[in-house]
């Protein structure tokens, strides 16, 4: 039975009595099956009112409510002009009159009623605590508004040692009965937290290898340890599989990681800057590193796993290298564009290689493009995510908050890269082995490297470009080729200059 048939059936067979949503629950009996339905309803009412204040990020409440069907494949929800209906398989199990516009209290109660009906038919939903229910349900609700939006609980676990966890990507856990890695703790503001990993999620693959086939030592080496490195994970969540890339730190999980590398036949060395999160803290770390290491052959600015939604911090970070030039333009709900320009001069003119990948997102993509626009560095890697948006931080009455990506970003010159991405001049997935790299560098030196600049092309089949420069599945493999190619570019002036001439 599909939704259209259900509405036809309803229309000809009976006319439901219109019951006010406020009559669904009683304050005198607030707990139903272990859930305080009054509190839950109030949270959803607050969420809807706050989402309305940001114009639903260009969407509407119908899409939010209908997205709750992501909680179970058997659920089908339709929000029409006058009713909200829940079908489970072929059975109609809920049918409510749609509240009047801006009646958030009634919308909150209907949402809670839908969830309680689904819990009666879904053992996994029924087993969730009230806090877990918030997280799971609101994540599903936000899918209808913003796939990158997230709900952040005030009860999120804090990191150790002053909100940092030593040498980790920011999560705890252990093997389950099937040999997979079940997450039992996520550290606030860590790369795992920022990627959307939650307690109870299951890591089934790491760097293309099934976790059940890995030893405990192998798992430990990629999830922790005193070494910088990339881990590419397949994570099973209540809403399906997610593919996530995380980066380990060398000492503590800070917003940026600094690694000085001594290079054979080079008396200056290379400074590697790994940005985990674009923030004022990251800017401070990088600025200090640049002042300490002021006599180096080159800089590797690694944005492969970098996330960031602070446009001002992004401008400061880019400004360390490009000075007072426009980094991006921010557009909120199709309103006037706001140009973001660094306030200070560049602090270094050292040659730079900027590493990007499909997990370079948000303001990090704008930073990468600012190097390209200002001919300040060579872009190396694979195409970026094309998710060039930043968030509004929406505080809720219960102390939690929402992050909604309702602000789009253009580059400093006004180029649209959202839903498109930033494309590297040097594609790493096409030069992964030694022979391919040798041939590539010979072509660059001889002037025979015919690079196609996809960033300049206004009409472009992005999918085809991504297929021609695919994601490297293993984080270890990507680390090795990225570092090797970057060092070669930065330690040979002819190679670096020839590549820069192509911009």
> Which residue ranges make up each domain of the chain?
3-145, 160-248, 256-500
Q: What is the pLDDT, as a whole number, of residue 133?
A: 85
Residue numbers of the chain with a pLDDT score lower than 70? 1-23, 154-168, 225-228, 249-253, 333-335
Give dist(CA 121, CA 133) in Å, integer: 15
Let me know: does 193 contact 135? Beta carbons within 8 Å.
no
Tell me which residue of 173, 156, 38 sits closest to 400, measured CA to CA: 156
Beta strands 150-152 and 91-97 are unpaired
**Alpha-helix residue ranges (DSSP H) falling in 175-279:** 191-194, 216-223
Let me know: does 83 contact 95? Beta carbons within 8 Å.
yes
Give dist(CA 366, CA 373) in Å, integer: 10
In this structure, whether the domain defined by 256-500 belongs to CATH 3.90.226.10 is answered with yes
3 state SS of 296: coil
Let me know: does 327 contact 342? Beta carbons within 8 Å.
yes
**Cβ atoms within 10 Å of 75's Cβ, excluding its own:** 21
Q: What is the pLDDT, as a whole number, of residue 163?
A: 36
Q: What is the pLDDT, as a whole number, of residue 4?
A: 41
Tell me which residue of 476, 480, 479, 491 sits closest to 206, measured CA to CA: 476
Let me know: does 224 contact 168? Beta carbons within 8 Å.
yes
Task: Give, in degrees to the nearest 5, the angle at Cα 44 between 40 and 45.
Answer: 115
Beta strands 378-381 and 352-356 are parallel
pTM of the model: 0.78
Q: What architecture (CATH level 2) is domain 160-248?
A: Roll (2.30)
Task: Give, in degrees to the nearest 5, the angle at Cα 240 between 239 and 246.
Answer: 105
The answer to whether the Cα torsion of 217, 219, 222, 224 is positive or negative is negative
Q: What is the pLDDT, as a whole number, of residue 249?
A: 63
């Amino acid at each position: 039975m599909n939704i259209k048939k259900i509405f036809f059936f309803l229309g000809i067979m009976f006319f439901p009595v219109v019951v006010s949503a406020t009559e669904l629950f009683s304050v005198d009996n607030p707990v139903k099956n272990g859930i305080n339905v009054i509190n839950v309803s109030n949270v959803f009412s607050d969420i809807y009112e706050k989402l309305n204040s940001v114009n639903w990020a260009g969407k509407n409440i119908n899409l939010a409510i209908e997205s709750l069907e992501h909680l179970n494949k058997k659920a089908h929800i339709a929000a029409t002009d006058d009713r909200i209906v829940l079908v489970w398989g072929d059975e109609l199990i809920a049918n409510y009159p749609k509240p009047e516009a801006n009646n958030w209290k009634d919308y909150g109660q209907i949402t809670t009623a839908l969830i309680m009906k689904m819990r009666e038919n879904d053992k996994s939903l029924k087993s969730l605590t009230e806090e877990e229910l918030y997280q799971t349900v609101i994540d599903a609700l936000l899918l209808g508004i913003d796939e990158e939006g997230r709900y952040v609980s005030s009860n999120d676990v804090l990191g150790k040692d002053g909100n940092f966890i030593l040498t980790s990507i920011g999560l705890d856990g252990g093997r389950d009965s099937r040999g997979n890695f079940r997450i039992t703790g996520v550290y606030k503001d860590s790369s795992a937290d920022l990627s959307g990993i939650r307690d109870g999620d299951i890591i089934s693959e790491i760097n293309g290898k099934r976790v059940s086939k890995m030893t405990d030592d192998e798992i430990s080496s990629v999830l922790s340890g005193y070494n910088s490195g990339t881990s590419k994970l397949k994570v099973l969540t209540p809403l399906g599989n997610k593919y996530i890339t995380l980066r380990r730190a060398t000492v503590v999980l800070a917003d940026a990681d600094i690694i000085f590398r001594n290079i054979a036949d080079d008396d200056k060395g290379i400074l590697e800057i790994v940005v985990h999160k674009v923030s004022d803290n990251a800017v401070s770390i990088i600025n200090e590193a640049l002042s300490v290491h002021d006599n180096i052959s080159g800089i590797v600015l690694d944005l492969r796993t970098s996330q960031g939604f602070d446009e001002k911090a992004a401008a400061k970070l880019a400004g360390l290298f490009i000075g007072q030039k426009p980094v991006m333009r921010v557009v909120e709900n199709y309103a006037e564009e706001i140009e973001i320009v660094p306030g200070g001069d560049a602090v270094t003119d050292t040659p730079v290689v900027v590493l990007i990948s499909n997990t370079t997102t948000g303001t990090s993509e704008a930073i990468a493009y600012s190097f390209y626009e200002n001919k300040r560095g060579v872009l190396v890697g694979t195409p970026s995510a094309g998710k060039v948006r930043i968030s509004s931080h929406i505080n809720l009455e219960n102390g939690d908050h929402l992050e909604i990506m309702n602000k789009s970003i253009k580059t400093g010159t006004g180029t649209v890269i959202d839903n498109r991405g930033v494309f590297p001049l040097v594609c790493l997935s096409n030069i992964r082995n030694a022979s391919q790299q040798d041939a590539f560098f010979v072509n660059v030196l001889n002037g025979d490297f015919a690079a196609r600049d996809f960033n300049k092309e206004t009409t472009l089949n992005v999918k085809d470009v991504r297929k021609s420069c695919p994601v490297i599945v293993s984080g270890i493999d990507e680390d090795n080729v990225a570092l090797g190619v970057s060092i070669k570019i930065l330690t040979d002036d002819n190679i670096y200059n020839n590549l820069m001439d192509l911009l």
